[in-house]
């Protein structure tokens, strides 16, 4: 991180040549898209699988992963190919930040909740024995996590309390929306603070314990 508070990708990128990274990402991204579509198709087309409670978080995570595979990775591949973010306009950076940060952290929250829900489904199935209980224990937490996280990132990225800096010569426009360094929002949303300190596994581990 630089003195101005922006991320220096030149110092953090791996040493592999960009051409090698390009082909590795491309080679693995194509089959990963196919696998995601295949699994989603079979989970959604089968009524029993579609309505199984333990599959709902998996379906959501697969959808988020598919969004990454179809947007974030191709945009990064395009950056590697051209050497800069194209088109070099703010809205491109805003969308990239929303997907790269917002969707990623949303997936982290859902994954953490999945570990809790698995415990409930296995050891406390009486908590979901009725439709009303299923709504409050299973569906409502998912709705809250998704709506809260996406709404939060949409607001702080598209309507920030500070001024964004767009660095088109760095991947993900330097991945440094100004709210990451704003004290109010750093304390307001714990995931940003956890990820800011490079403790990406901390939140999930705490919730599991």
Is residue 2 a part of any domain in this protein?
no
Q: Classify residue 193 as exposed, middle or buried by CB count within 10 Å of its CB (0-12, 13-18, 19+).
A: middle
Q: Which of 31, 51, 35 is nearest to 43 (CA)?
A: 51
Tokens for 27, please give them: 């080679």
pLDDT at 178: 87
Question: Mean per-residue pLDDT for 155-177?
Answer: 90
Among 98-102, 111-115, 177-181, whose mean pLDDT is lowest?
A: 177-181
> Does position 206 have pLDDT exceeding 60, yes or no?
no
Residue 203's pLDDT band (cuts 50, 70, 90):
very low
Among 33-37, 156-160, 180-184, 203-207, whose mean pLDDT is lowest?
A: 203-207
Q: Which of 174, 202, 203 is nearest to 1 (CA)?
A: 174
Q: What is the dihedral of CA 87, 89, 95, 99, to 10 degrees?
A: 60
Is residue 138 a part of any domain in this protein?
yes
Q: Residue 33 sits in a domain of what CATH number? A: 1.20.1070.10
Question: Mean per-residue pLDDT for 58-75?
Answer: 95
Residue 167's pLDDT band (cuts 50, 70, 90):
very high
> Does position 109 have pLDDT exceeding 70, yes or no?
yes
Largest CA distance in the chain: 56
Question: Mean per-residue pLDDT for 28-51?
Answer: 95
Is residue 4 a part of any domain in this protein?
no
Question: Mean per-residue pLDDT for 167-196?
Answer: 72
Q: Which of 110, 95, 90, 101 is nearest to 196 (CA)?
A: 101
Is residue 108 a part of any domain in this protein?
yes
Residue 189's pLDDT band (cuts 50, 70, 90):
low
Is residue 3 a part of any domain in this protein?
no
> Does position 37 have pLDDT exceeding 60, yes or no?
yes
Tokens for 67, please give them: 């969004």
Is residue 178 a part of any domain in this protein?
yes
- Three-state secondary-structure class, residue 207: helix
Which residue range(s) make up the domain with 66?
A: 9-208
Among 18-22, 123-127, 137-141, 143-147, whose mean pLDDT is lowest?
A: 18-22
Among 24-38, 91-105, 128-142, 172-186, whose mean pLDDT is lowest?
A: 172-186
Is residue 91 a part of any domain in this protein?
yes
pLDDT at 191: 52
Is residue 80 a part of any domain in this protein?
yes
How many distinct structural domains can be found in the chain? Answer: 1
């Amino acid at each position: 991180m630089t003195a101005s508070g922006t991320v220096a990708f030149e110092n953090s990128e791996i040493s592999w040549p960009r051409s090698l990274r390009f082909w590795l990402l491309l080679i693995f991204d194509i089959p990963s898209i196919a696998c995601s579509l295949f699994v989603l198709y079979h989970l959604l087309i089968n009524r029993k699988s579609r309505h199984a409670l333990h599959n709902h978080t998996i379906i959501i995570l697969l959808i988020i992963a598919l969004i990454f595979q179809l947007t974030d990775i191709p945009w990064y591949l395009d950056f590697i190919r051209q050497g800069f973010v194209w088109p070099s306009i703010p809205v491109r950076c805003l969308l990239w930040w929303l997907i790269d940060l917002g969707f990623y952290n949303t997936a982290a929250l859902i994954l953490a909740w999945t570990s809790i829900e698995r415990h409930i489904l296995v050891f406390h199935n009486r908590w979901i024995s009725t439709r009303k209980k299923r709504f409050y224990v299973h569906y409502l937490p998912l709705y809250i996590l998704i709506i809260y996280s996406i709404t939060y990132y949409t607001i702080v990225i598209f309507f920030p309390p500070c001024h964004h800096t767009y660095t088109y010569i760095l991947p993900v426009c330097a991945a440094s929306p100004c709210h990451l360094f704003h004290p109010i929002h750093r304390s307001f949303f714990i995931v940003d603070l956890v990820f800011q300190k490079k403790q990406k596994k901390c939140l999930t581990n705490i919730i599991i314990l």
